[in-house]
């Protein structure tokens, strides 16, 4: 039982490069979300999705794009990476209406 | 502006004693509160939750208390064990779509 799988685990980018952080879950959860964790800031919601084809913005959406074409996958795209996006990124999923989220192990991203 | 606050970045407790972790919130519309535990290099894992219609929820060694008038919740761990050493995040939600997390409290249980 894989749960929530995030790839890659580590990534270093140069300013201006683009990349996609992958997130997949095998629990048939309708709700998926992306967070970033920064020192002294806790986890902040970037984007979330309540089902395939439906996405919405969280607290800190600027600089990030998402799409949800399948129930299983919820990729996070950085179109032009900036040093301020250096962070640890977590993907999470939950049942619709269920508040308990299951998190992936995280992606540590450094933007130089 | 932080809607969920954990004012103690760290806490040290002797093994066998009680650990009390605190969390304050500002949004009176929050209707569900959760505690997550996080070990280094892992994602947070769910620990215990409470809805706004209750003031206490207990699960084994873990108890969460909610004081709505003070907009305060706390997590009690008793007895504390070395394996409880981790970062604890409280989280709150209004309606279940957006979750707001505190900054975390690093608990160290000393053997």
pLDDT in tens, chain A (112 residues): 679 999 999 999 999 999 999 999 999 999 999 999 998 888 999 999 999 999 999 999 999 999 999 999 999 999 999 999 999 999 999 987 678 999 999 999 999 9
The minimal CB distance from B98 to the residues A42, A58, A104 is found for: A58
Across chain B, what does the average pLDDT equal?
95
The minimal CB distance from A41 to the residues B34, B44, B103 is found for: B103
CA distance A28 to chain B (A): 17
Please indicate whether, in this complex, the C-beta atoms of A42 and B49 are within 8 angstroms of each other: no
Question: How much is the average pLDDT of B58-86?
Answer: 97
Answer whether B39 touches A (CB < 8 Å).
no
Angle A38-A42-A45 from CA coordinates, rounded to 5°: 90
Is A69 within 8 Å of A5 (Cβ atoms)? no
Which chain B residues are closer than 8 Å to A41 by Cβ? 103
The minimal CB distance from B43 to the residues A33, A97, A106 is found for: A106
Is A46 within 8 Å of A58 (Cβ atoms)? yes
**pLDDT of residue B69 exceeding 70:** yes
Question: How much is the average pLDDT of B69-86?
Answer: 97
Backbone φ and ψ for A84, nearest 5 degrees, come out as -65, -10
Is A21 within 8 Å of A74 (Cβ atoms)? no
The pLDDT of residue A1 is 66
């Amino acid at each position: 039982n894989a749960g929530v799988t995030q790839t890659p685990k580590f990534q270093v980018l140069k300013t201006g490069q683009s990349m996609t952080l992958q997130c997949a879950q095998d629990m048939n959860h309708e709700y998926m979300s992306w967070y970033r964790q920064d020192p002294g800031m806790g986890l902040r919601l970037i984007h979330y999705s309540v089902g395939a084809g439906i996405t919405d913005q969280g607290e800190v959406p600027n600089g990030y794009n998402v799409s949800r074409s399948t129930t299983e996958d919820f990729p996070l795209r950085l179109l032009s990476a900036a040093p301020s996006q250096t962070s640890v990124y977590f993907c999470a999923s939950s049942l619709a209406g269920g508040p308990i989220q299951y998190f992936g192990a995280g992606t540590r991203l450094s933007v130089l | 502006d932080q809607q969920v606050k954990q004012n103690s970045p760290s806490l040290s407790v002797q093994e066998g004693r009680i650990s009390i972790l605190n969390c304050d919130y500002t949004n009176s519309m929050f209707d569900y509160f959760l505690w997550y535990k996080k070990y280094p290099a892992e994602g947070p894992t769910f620990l215990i939750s409470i809805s706004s219609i209750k003031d206490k929820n207990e699960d084994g060694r873990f108890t969460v208390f909610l004081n709505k008038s003070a907009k305060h919740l706390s997590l009690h761990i008793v007895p504390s064990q070395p394996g409880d050493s981790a970062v604890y995040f409280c989280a709150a939600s209004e309606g279940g779509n957006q979750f707001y997390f505190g900054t975390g409290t690093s608990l160290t249980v000393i053997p």
